[in-house]
Amino acid sequence: MAYETIEVRPIAGALGAEISGADLSAPLGNQVFAEIHQAFLDHQVIFFRDQTLTPDQQKAFTRRFGPFGETPFVTTLDDHPEIIEVVKQPGDRTAYNFGGNWHSDFSFQPQPPMATLLYSREVPPYGGDTLFANMYLAYETLTPGMKRIADDLIGVHSARRSYSPAAQYQHDQLSGMEVKTDDSAYATVEHPVVRTHPETGRKALFVNRVYTVGLKDFSKTEGAALLDLLCRHAERPELTCRFNWTEGALALWDNRCVQHFAVNDYDGYRRVMHRTTVAGERPV
């Protein structure tokens, strides 16, 4: 598609593009929105800088893509149950940060969110980048033998590593966020390891280190070994991009073909982000 109303500048060979020419605080015309949506499908994660967004304006932009996703476990903003405030405070000198391992958002849900929007309200002077990995490429660059194996696998996803009561101590180290773990985190759902994107028709690997806890019909040891192979492959640097946040930037990524990782390298500084999600469909 030729873009007529926005500029689209790729930031890496694998995925990711910065968009300019759109003011997300205002209602977007159909043509601008169609081009943004196309850039999202073409580049898997897109970035807008220098936006001034109230929570209501972020929600209005999110709603252009569909209904909001469900947010379990994490306490949302008082007046905005659709927004998680992702906060690390200067005093939170901890090995744990929210989102600090490769994952696709809430893949433990039967219908995980199709997209996530993350808006930076306060950023550290350095660090705090987010990494993204292109899961189409992760699938396409598998060897023919691994592709045949992966095509038949079913992943078992669960929130237990992050949100079962055993993980509460991690969340309690982040003084600016409230997370309430509970036993519902032990529930599991099954998703194909290779899913087909409903809009592009492309196949993508759909496993991640946080929520994919096993493989159907494989022992724990077998599943862990295969998943480690697939995850390590998907995390290769040439399949990723890295976004350095500035205040007022918004990232919009496609959880159906992208996983991401929040880098925890800014101890002593505050980082505040507002996160919304768009409801998705059952992966097939």
**Which residues are near ligand SIN by CB under 6 A?**
86, 98-99, 105, 118, 130, 260, 262, 273, 275
User: For ligand SIN, which is the closer residue by CB, 203 or 275?
Assistant: 275
Please report how close the Cβ of residue 275 comes to ligand SIN at its closest, in angstroms.
Answer: 5
DSSP-assigned letters across all residues of the chain: ---SSSEEEE-SSSS-EEEES--TTSPPPHHHHHHHHHHHHHHSEEEE-S----HHHHHHHHHTSSSBPP--SB--BTTBTT-EEEEE-TT---S--TT-S-B-TTTTSSS--SEEEEEEEE--SS---EEEEEHHHHHHTS-HHHHHHHHT-EEEEESHHHHSGGGHHHHTT-TT--B---GGGG-EEEEESEEE-TTT--EEE---TTTEEEETTS-HHHHHHHHHHHHHHHT-GGGEEEE---TT-EEEEETTTEEEEE----TTS-EEEEEEEE------
The one catalytic residue in 43, 105, 233, 271 is 105
User: For ligand SIN, which is the closer residue by CB, 99 or 112?
Assistant: 99
Q: Has 49 been annotated as catalytic? A: no
Q: Has 80 been annotated as catalytic? A: no
The one catalytic residue in 43, 103, 161, 197 is 103
Please report how close the Cβ of residue 23 comes to ligand SIN at its closest, in angstroms.
Answer: 23
Q: Has 105 been annotated as catalytic? A: yes
Please report how close the Cβ of residue 184 comes to ligand SIN at its closest, in angstroms.
Answer: 20
User: For ligand SIN, which is the closer residue by CB, 86 or 153?
Assistant: 86
Please report how close the Cβ of residue 58 comes to ligand SIN at its closest, in angstroms.
Answer: 14
CA–CA gap between residue 150 and residue 195 (Å, rounded):
10
User: For ligand SIN, which is the closer residue by CB, 83 or 150?
Assistant: 83
Please report how close the Cβ of residue 116 comes to ligand SIN at its closest, in angstroms.
Answer: 6
The one catalytic residue in 160, 195, 256, 260 is 260
Positions marked catalytic: 103, 105, 260, 275
